[in-house]
């Protein structure tokens, strides 16, 4: 892997790791450990007014509905796709890198296009999840930065390889044209020789 593509691979790995962290399912269920803490805290209180106050405070925390994170259904709706897109970004980077540029430059460019498409779609999911308050604006900013790093490096890679591919295409076209002209000259010479005989 070339240096820039190696760096891009590392950025894609960071994006995948962050995507897995950011799309974790947050359960609404209270754990046994949390219940034990609550009971112990209440048991330490002497005054019934303090017990009522603590129970009221805990009730408010448990009722809090704007908790950031993916429910199981939202994970199935968005989170699974987001993780798959991040995995695809890594797959396409490795796929593009494994193509011999001299012979398979178009396949490499196609793989880079796939990276860019997946980054664009992942960014769209981040925007939707931010609008629906599934992820915070702070987390969306980190997410967007990681997507942008991969996308910008991929755009530069495509621009660089696109220029090299254009040169190879032009050379191939020129060689094909030369080969066709040579074949036509040979065919014409043979036809003339056959019709009029060699001089």
d(CA 130, CA 98): 36
Domain count, the chain: 2
What are 31-74's pLDDT values in tens digits?
677 777 878 888 887 888 877 887 877 777 666 555 678 888 99
pLDDT of the residue at 174: 67
15 and 33 inside one domain: no
d(CA 181, CA 3): 42
**Is residue 184 domain-resident?**
no
Tokens of 4: 């820039």
154 and 90 inside one domain: yes
CB 69 within 8 A of CB 137: no
**Is residue 178 domain-resident?**
no
What are 118-162's pLDDT values in tens digits?
999 999 999 999 999 999 999 999 999 999 999 999 999 998 887
d(CA 141, CA 129): 12
With 50 as the cut, is the pLDDT of residue 115 above it? yes
Nearest to 112 by CA among 159, 73, 66: 159
Residue with tokens 């005989």: 197
What are 81-90's pLDDT values in tens digits?
999 999 999 9
18 and 102 inside one domain: yes
Task: Indicate the pTM of the whole model.
Answer: 0.67
d(CA 171, CA 177): 10
Tokens of 126: 């981040």
Domain that holds residue 56: 29-66
**Is residue 53 domain-resident?**
yes
């Amino acid at each position: 892997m070339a240096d820039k593509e190696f760096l891009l691979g590392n950025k894609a790995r960071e994006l995948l790791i962050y995507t897995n962290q950011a799309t974790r399912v947050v359960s609404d269920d209270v754990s046994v450990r949390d219940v034990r803490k609550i009971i112990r805290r209440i048991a330490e209180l002497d005054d019934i007014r303090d017990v009522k106050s603590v129970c009221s405070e805990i009730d408010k925390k448990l009722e809090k509905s704007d908790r950031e994170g993916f429910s199981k259904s939202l994970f199935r709706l968005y989170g699974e796709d987001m993780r798959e897109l991040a995995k695809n970004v890594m797959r396409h980077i490795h796929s593009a890198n494994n193509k011999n540029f001299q012979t398979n430059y178009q396949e490499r460019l196609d793989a880079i296009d796939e990276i860019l498409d997946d980054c664009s779609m992942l960014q769209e999911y981040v925007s939707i999840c931010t609008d629906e308050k599934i992820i915070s604006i702070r987390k969306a900013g980190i997410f967007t930065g990681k997507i942008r790093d991969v996308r910008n490096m991929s755009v530069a890679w495509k621009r660089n390889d696109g220029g090299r591919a254009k040169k190879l295409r032009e050379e191939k076209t020129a060689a094909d044209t030369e080969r066709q002209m040579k074949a036509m000259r040979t065919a014409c010479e043979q036809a003339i020789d056959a019709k009029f005989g060699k001089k």
